[in-house]
Amino acid sequence: MDKLRCFTGTVVVCLLICSVVLTQNDGSAPKGPMTFFITSVSPGDGGNLGGLQGADAHCQKLAAAVGAGDRMWHAYLSTQAKGSQPAVNARDRIGKGPWYNSRKGGGIIVARDLADLHGDTLEAARVGNNINMATALNEKGERVTGVFDSLNLHDIMTGSRPDGRAFSDASDHTCQNWTSDNTGRAEVGHHDRTGGGPGRHTVGNSSWNSSHPSVGCSQASFAPGGGAALFYCFAVD
């Protein structure tokens, strides 16, 4: 069984490397300036991001550090309805697209528009967006490690359902709307499109934005599932 697991991991890694090469050498793929990235680091306090405002500021700061601060950046995060405050959908915060990654020499397109990003139509859902291990880079143009690396960081916080909208049940999916480092949990997606939940890492096409909840909201609680409280950033304009 161990040999089979090792062989399977090796095959997947090889396929991912091939995917990177093909993506980077595909002259027909639309290219553009960076309008999408995964944060290279978290603010450092787990699910407490200082709310959506703090998360957006973190995106803006990281983008500015690589010369892309002239755009308005928002975090791809939903919040849940609480008291008189209505829910906020991640998909409503990120503009209309298209979005390109941070590949040096010209970003590779990851989604044309919101329908493409979320599979809103039958055709879009069948084809899928272009967010995967090869394209979901951080703002520096670096690969974010996944389930078959020695350090797995594929859990990306979103607080969202697969359609990019907020949860409407009574459970907390957003670490108290991104203000808690000890109470609640955060819904995460897998940028490498691989694995189920903690302890259930299998080869497959798992959701980029809604795979499973985190163990907790502290910085350390994201590690068991394979994460570091990272999140997606999109250029709004």
| Of 190, 163, 215, 216, nearest in space to 48 by CA | 216
**Model's pTM, two decimal places?**
0.86
Rounded distance, CA 234 to CA 93, Å? 9
Domains of the chain, residue spans: 2-235
So what's the pLDDT on residue 128?
87
99 and 117 Cβ atoms separated by less than 8 Å: yes
How many angstroms separate the Cα of 82 from the Cα of each of 126, 163, 166?
35, 21, 12
* Helix intervals (H) in 128-163: none
Rounded distance, CA 20 to CA 135, Å? 8
So what's the pLDDT on residue 196?
60
212 and 50 Cβ atoms separated by less than 8 Å: no
| Of 35, 40, 99, 96, nearest in space to 68 by CA | 35
Left (φ > 0), alpha (ψ -120 to 50) or beta: where does 121 sit?
A: beta
Q: What is the mean pLDDT of each run of 10 residues along the chain (237 residues)?
A: 44 43 47 95 98 98 98 98 96 98 95 96 86 97 96 97 97 98 97 71 70 96 95 96
What CATH number was assigned to the domain covering residues 2-235?
3.10.100.10
How would you class 36 by CB atoms within 10 Å of its CB: exposed for 0-12, middle for 13-18, buried for 19 or more? buried
So what's the pLDDT on residue 6?
43
